[in-house]
Amino acid sequence: MAKLSVGIIGTGFGAKVHAPAFQTIPAVEVMAIAGQDRQKAARAGQGLGIPTVHDSWQQLIDDEKVEAVVVAVPPSVQFDVVTAALRAGKHVLCEKPFGIDAGQAARMWALARESHRVCMVDYMFRMAPERVRLKELLDGHEIGRIIRVTVEWTVRGRAAGNSAWSWQFDPSFGGGVLFAFGAHVVDYLQWLVGPVRSVAARLSTRGGPVQSAPMDRPVAADTLDAMMLLDGDIPVSITVSNATPGGRGHWLTIYGERGALIVGNANLADTVIGTRLYQSDAATGAWRDIPVVSIAGEGAADGRTLLVGRMAECFAGAIRSGASAAPSFEDGWRAQVVMDAMRLAHDRQCWIPVGFPTGQDEFTSPGRRLQ
């Protein structure tokens, strides 16, 4: 069987993580790359051994030799690229957060259904063996009825105030902590525990000044503090910040009637490598390790390539087998519905109910303004 031919659109995360991840799969050939800057794309292509460098993402999509595309561009551009790729008959793996709001996400999902192509969103934490095992334990009622959930994801990041300006600081491009970190949290909570029913949220900027920031542009929020109620009135508290001195990494704790399950990573240098799964005793609170088989390649320079590699394997396998795959475009839409509600909750300073309408084509996002 011929290898699946993949094109990478994006020379940041696409070149750094997606391309190396796809290149680990024997049944895949990464044969093309494109980005906003042609020279940067050429350097990435040469360094990664990608044979074709296109002048634009449009040119890559028009390349008949490319069967599937990875869309690793800023959120503000994702809609245009994804819809063009689907209309050209490509399979699509889109980097999260899947557009800038639920309205765009709904339209991309609708087009994906019409296209009958394999379409996924790169919510990579679903591929982490610790979270896969956590889901198995939760589905098996290991800790009984879930009582509450807490998420803390805090890193120093922008706290020092010496970061160079990029689109990730610009809310008009979809920059900021809600899409960068919060999107992952929203997705894995709904995957692990259940749908969000209401939210309260505050977005703020706590980090120091950004180098060479345009005077006429606001800086995107770097801190999210939120509360949620999931199905069954399960409360969730969330603190996510990439501007916290002394931040302690990424920790998810799910409390149940018979103790708690914890996935945590205190490794501030890598959001993947060093992750562990624990269970705490209901009576004593004592923690014990739960053994999990790690992903091969723990010596990787960037642990994200390990999870994205699993995502890429799932994506390629679904294309060849004709099977469905998750996280899907529907999952991306569901996360965007919640994030729209979070932005609206911030604006109105109150709790906002969350609904998932059945008529997605008629869905209008209430929280279009980016933070």
Q: Is the pLDDT of residue 162 over 70?
A: no
* Mean pLDDT to the nearest integer, 254-276: 95
Total domains, the chain? 2
3 burial level (CB within 10 Å; 0-12, 13-18, 19+) = middle
How is residue 211 annotated by DSSP? B
275 burial level (CB within 10 Å; 0-12, 13-18, 19+) = buried
Q: What is the mean pLDDT of the chain?
A: 92
What is the band of 368 on the pLDDT scale with cuts at 50, 70, 90? very low
Report the alpha-carbon angle 149-152-154, nearest 5: 170
Residue 341 in domain: no
Question: Which segment of 62-71, 94-103, 193-202, 209-218 scores lowest on mean pLDDT?
Answer: 209-218
Residue 342 in domain: no
> How are beta strands 223-230 and 196-204 bridged, if at all?
antiparallel
* Mean pLDDT to the nearest integer, 89-96: 98
Share of the chain above pLDDT 90, in %: 84
What is the band of 218 on the pLDDT scale with cuts at 50, 70, 90? confident
What is the band of 159 on the pLDDT scale with cuts at 50, 70, 90? low
* Mean pLDDT to the nearest integer, 5-30: 97
Q: Is the pLDDT of residue 215 over 80?
A: no
Contacts of 331 (CB under 8 A, 6+ apart): 121, 123, 187, 190, 191
Q: Are residues 218 and 278 in the same domain?
A: yes
What pLDDT shows up at residue 362?
43
Question: Which segment of 107-116, 203-212, 233-242 scores lowest on mean pLDDT?
Answer: 203-212
What pLDDT shows up at residue 207?
82
Q: Are residues 132 and 119 in the same domain?
A: no
Q: Is the pLDDT of residue 161 over 70?
A: no
Q: Are residues 114 and 56 in the same domain?
A: yes
Is residue 180 within 8 A of residue 80, CB to CB? The reply is no
Q: Are residues 204 and 228 in the same domain?
A: yes
CATH number, residue 108: 3.40.50.720
* Mean pLDDT to the nearest integer, 160-169: 75
Residue 25 in domain: yes
Q: Are residues 237 and 136 in the same domain?
A: yes
What pLDDT shows up at residue 212?
65
Contacts of 31 (CB under 8 A, 6+ apart): 5, 6, 7, 50, 51, 52, 65, 66
Q: Are residues 262 and 320 in the same domain?
A: no
Q: Which helix (H) or strand (E) holds 103?
A: helix 102-115
Q: Which helix (H) or strand (E) holds 25?
A: none
Kindly report the backbone phi and psi dihedral angles of residue 66, in degrees, each rounded to the nearest multiple of 5, phi listed first.
Answer: -85, 120
Q: Are residues 283 and 146 in the same domain?
A: yes
Residues spanned by the domain of 246? 128-292
Kindly report the backbone phi and psi dihedral angles of residue 94, in degrees, each rounded to the nearest multiple of 5, phi listed first.
Answer: -100, 135
Spatial separation of the C-alpha atoms in residues 8 and 335, rounded to whole Å: 24
**Residue 205 CB neighbour total at 10 angstroms:** 18
Helix (H, G, I), strand (E, B) or coil at 164: strand
* Mean pLDDT to the nearest integer, 244-272: 96
Residue 351 in domain: no
Q: Are residues 110 and 143 in the same domain?
A: no
Spatial separation of the C-alpha atoms in residues 189 and 196, rounded to whole Å: 8
> How are beta strands 259-265 and 249-256 bridged, if at all?
antiparallel
Q: Are residues 276 and 138 in the same domain?
A: yes
Q: Are residues 184 and 218 in the same domain?
A: yes
Residue 361 in domain: no
* Mean pLDDT to the nearest integer, 338-360: 91
Residue 54 in domain: yes
Share of the chain above pLDDT 70, in %: 93
* Mean pLDDT to the nearest integer, 268-275: 93
* Mean pLDDT to the nearest integer, 106-111: 98
Spatial separation of the C-alpha atoms in residues 292 and 25, rounded to whole Å: 23
Is residue 148 within 8 A of residue 238, CB to CB? The reply is no
What Å distances lie between residue 321 and 80, 117, 325, CA to CA?
Answer: 28, 12, 11
Q: Is the pLDDT of residue 360 over 70?
A: no
CATH number, residue 151: 3.30.360.10
Question: Which segment of 149-163, 179-193, 267-281 scores lowest on mean pLDDT?
Answer: 149-163
* Mean pLDDT to the nearest integer, 209-215: 69
What is the band of 370 on the pLDDT scale with cuts at 50, 70, 90? low
pLDDT digits over 290-308, tens only? 999 877 655 678 999 999 9
Spatial separation of the C-alpha atoms in residues 331 and 337, rounded to whole Å: 10
Q: Are residues 75 and 48 in the same domain?
A: yes
Q: Are residues 54 and 180 in the same domain?
A: no
